[in-house]
Amino acid sequence: MERKKPFYATPQDAEAAFYEALERADLDAMMSVWAEDEEIVCVHPTGPRLSGYAMVHESWRRIFDGGTRMRVQISNAVALQGMLLSIHSVHENITLAGEDKPRPPVVATNVYLRGPLGWRMLVHHASPAPPEAMSDTPKILH
């Protein structure tokens, strides 16, 4: 039974749904976040550029089938909001299940497009930041 497509009233709602789907490894929820009828683009960390629904869907299926569970906290957000497009640059602070500290951040550029079903993801481009980028996070000085 197909789920009713959710409506995302803001790019922030779509982004929250994206990272929730990633944490829950929920393929249907993940693909509900992406724009339909557009040439969507997805670049996973260290991966090739994937374009079109079929390639993007297949990549998430493989990632979620891989069984790695993670928690993702977003920080360092920079956003530019247009009428129909919204651009977010964020740090993804990923903690893998069984680990107690986040990995060095992944830098993500997320682009959202407003359509008949509200805001949907058009581009997700993620790449690992070098470990030094950890110094962005607050530290206790000795």
Cα(50)–Cα(72) distance, integer angstroms? 22
Query: Nearest approach, Cβ of 105 to a copy of itself (angstroms)?
Result: 8
Nearest to a copy of itself of 21, 88 (CB atom): 88
How far separated are the first and last CA of the chain, in Å rounded?
57
- Interface residues with a copy of itself (CB under 8 A)? 38-39, 41, 43, 45-49, 51, 76, 78, 80, 82-85, 87, 89, 91, 107, 109, 111, 113, 122-123, 125, 127-130, 132-133, 136
Widest distance between CA atoms in the chain: 57
Give the up-direction half-sphere exposure of residue 41: CA atoms within 13 A in the CB hemisphere.
Answer: 11
Query: Nearest approach, Cβ of 52 to a copy of itself (angstroms)?
Result: 9
Nearest CA-CA partner of 84 in 110, 112, 108: 112
Query: Nearest approach, Cβ of 38 to a copy of itself (angstroms)?
Result: 7
Query: Nearest approach, Cβ of 33 to a copy of itself (angstroms)?
Result: 17
Nearest CA-CA partner of 64 in 110, 111, 31: 31
Nearest to a copy of itself of 45, 118 (CB atom): 45
